[in-house]
Amino acid sequence: MSVITRKDVPVEETWDLTPIFASDEDWEKAYIQVGEDLDGMLQRNIALANAKATLDLLEQFDRLMERFSRVSSYAFYKYSEDGTDSENQRRLGRSQSLGKKSYSLSTVVVNQFLQLPKDTLQTYKEEESGLHTYDRFLEKIDNLRDHSLKPEMESLLSSLGRTLNAPNSTYLTITASDLKFEPVKDKDGKEVPVSLFMYMTQVETSPDTVLRRNAYQSLFNGLKNYQHGLAQTLKNEIHKNVAIAKLRQYPTTMDFLLHYDSPADNNFYSGDGIPRGYFEDVLDTFQQELAPHMQRYARLRKRQLGLDKLLFSDVKAPLDPDFDPPISYEEAGEIIVEAVGVLGPEYQEQMRKVFTDRWVYRGDNVGRRMIAFGGGVHGVHGYSFYPWGGNLFDVILLGHELGHAIHLTLAAQNQKFINNGGSLLFVEAPSTLVEHLIVQYLREKRDDPRLHRWLNMYLMMSYHHNCVTHILEAELLRRLYKMADQEIPLTTSVISDTKGAILSEFWGDTVEIDEGAKLTWMRQPHYYMGLYPFTYSIGTSASTVVANRIKEEGVSVGEQWTEVLKRGGTLGGFDLYKMAGLNMSTTDVIKQAIAHIGTIVDELEKSF
């Protein structure tokens, strides 16, 4: 339990935000100026009268959006340090208000381009070559033409942004503030508090079977008290998307969620126009081909733990709980920097700066954010928030978040801000690749059979998280959206029973699926993020194959990967993977990754 306050955190455990703004006072000045400039652009008559006017607008819009990003990032990072600080709360709230103006301006700009005939825009490009700098931004707008509404309707939807986000904000509020769970006893009779975050980050992987099962029951007892309210919240989210899909004339809601990608949304990560058939093939492939390997691993876990039956609360229990080597943050930095050397000197130098220039906040203080992330500020560099625990597990997960941070850094250094909405299909590949490289580095440098076995178990945990948990989340979304399109009522029992059926189909007779397992749809915010969960499995599959190629073929493969990262959002996900030498438009790479998982299970069975 954190006991120190933010002001008592040693400076070396904090990040250096001065490259964004030298002081809070400088942020205040920038906030005021950005607000005035947003108002100024909103109030003027934006017209694309000729090629030069069009280029001038895009350049001004790009610079303003980048400046807004700095203001909002600084506010978010300060709030992440200490959410109990009233000034941090106020700063974040003000930046969110500024975000509404930013979204309104983006909507106006996009609407203007949608009204400009394609032929006219092409003529402008021929007259003004500088417009090609913004090809990706303009390409995304062009892809919206068949599904865009009248400008006044688009503006109305824009103004309803907060209302349309209500299901997500309601879910987050209830799970963060209202949900309470009874404390439980561990195997020694000691009382342990229970929360969603604590369960998923600590208890679920605890070697203490008594604690795991007691906490699981406490979680179930707490969740079931809110099941009907949160089922209604999820149903509202789904029906909202069904309505918008129909309004924009998509054949199904899943097509809308996989295709619609407006640059007005200002999300760093965006869709790829993923074919619905591909999405469904990915889900089917993992459930049919990965399930046998995971069931083998479940049987190994049951035998190794000496359990009469494997409950759902046991599926992530460690097989070698006593092996937990401590590692200092400084040593972690050395390992990560050395491990990514295979990606070339440019990538490695950026990773070195992470530790010399304090890109990471790792302080353990009251009010700090609980969940890690890797981010970045355009025109500055990447940042990461990671609650450092000091063991081998932390080294690899820190590497994951830094993979995001370096990706954003390289993309921002080489691309314009409004072009740089990265691909959802690609987003988890740069981060999971760093995990694989750390594992490979430790295997090569440390000749310890127990460590090598632990690294295999870590990889299985990672694959479980990315290719089982998230794929089964996506499977639930697939089934619920199909029901919603067919106007089948989504009651609490329908949602929970569907989740239970999915889990039973995947785990077969190896894991007992009880009433608590059926409520796991209540644990994750992913259900309020479109079809996002399945993208983890794509990125993880790709990084598995790339890591193996680097091991076999050397640094040239890694340097090619670094060049891909520099392209940022200027290419769609399939094209980024193609540039890296991967054909992700079929499930062949996924099947290669699943086969690799099978070899890890083989090694683990032999090692025990």
Give pLDDT tens digits for 397-436: 999 999 999 999 999 999 999 998 888 899 999 999 999 9
Cβ atoms of residues 499 and 516 within 8 Å: no
Query: Which pLDDT does position 9 carry in this prediction?
Result: 95
Mean pLDDT of 462-489: 96
pLDDT band at residue 178 under the 50/70/90 scheme: confident
pLDDT band at residue 496 under the 50/70/90 scheme: very high
Question: pTM for this one?
Answer: 0.93
**Alpha-carbon gap, residue 514 to 501, rounded angstroms:** 11
Query: Which pLDDT does position 527 carry in this prediction?
Result: 92
pLDDT band at residue 467 under the 50/70/90 scheme: very high
553 has a pLDDT exceeding 50: yes
Hey, what amino acid is at 358? R
**Alpha-carbon gap, residue 431 to 401, rounded angstroms:** 6
Over the stretch 247-262, which tens digit does the pLDDT of each residue have?
999 999 999 999 887 7
Q: What is the mean pLDDT of the chain?
A: 93
**Alpha-carbon gap, residue 65 to 266, rounded angstroms:** 9
Cβ atoms of residues 212 and 203 within 8 Å: yes
Phi-psi region of 160 (alpha: psi -120 to 50; beta: other; left: phi over 0): alpha
pLDDT band at residue 265 under the 50/70/90 scheme: low
Instruction: For residue 310, give the nearest of 541, 507, 39 by alpha carbon.
Output: 507
Hey, what amino acid is at 406? I
pLDDT band at residue 461 under the 50/70/90 scheme: very high
Query: Which pLDDT does position 264 carry in this prediction?
Result: 65
Query: Which pLDDT does position 144 carry in this prediction?
Result: 87
Query: Which pLDDT does position 268 carry in this prediction?
Result: 44
Instruction: For residue 307, give the nearest of 213, 202, 192, 214 by alpha carbon.
Output: 213
524 has a pLDDT exceeding 90: no
pLDDT band at residue 181 under the 50/70/90 scheme: very high
**Structure tokens, 441:** 């580095």
pLDDT band at residue 453 under the 50/70/90 scheme: very high
Cβ atoms of residues 410 and 347 within 8 Å: yes
